[in-house]
Structure 1
Amino acid sequence: MLCPCGCGETLNLRFFGNRRPRWSVAWDREARPTVRPSIWRRTGCGSHFNLVRGRVLWC
């Protein structure tokens, strides 16, 4: 996915394997994703946000 701040960077999230950090995704009835835990870019723009029911909630 692209970073929602508009910086244009591609975010790669790990959903499988033993390495951390690792995220999980759940889909609601309307196919909107919720990703846990929050996504925090420690490099580049430094964005920190939650993706809940397809909406970005900034931290």
Structure 2
Amino acid sequence: MRKAVPGNRRVRAVEITAAGRELFDAAHVAAAPLADELTVDFEPGEAALLMDMLSRIAYPGRAD
């Protein structure tokens, strides 16, 4: 959902709707078995390391 930003008529903020959140959550549940299958041969900790690295690529500068 796009929303106006107070004080700046040129900017729109994007906010996920309840339906969007449900779809996002359902996609994560559906993807979990595939993620497990893709990482089955990883050493302990490697799947978490991969997720950390991919998150840093997708969200640079974001502190967790």
Q: Same fold judged by TM-score > 0.5?
A: no
Greater share of strand: 1
TM-score, length of structure 1 as denominator length? 0.22
Greater share of helix: 2
**Which of the two has higher C-alpha Rg?**
2
Structure ranking higher on relative contact order (CA contacts 8 Å, 6+ apart): 1
TM-score, length of structure 2 as denominator length? 0.21
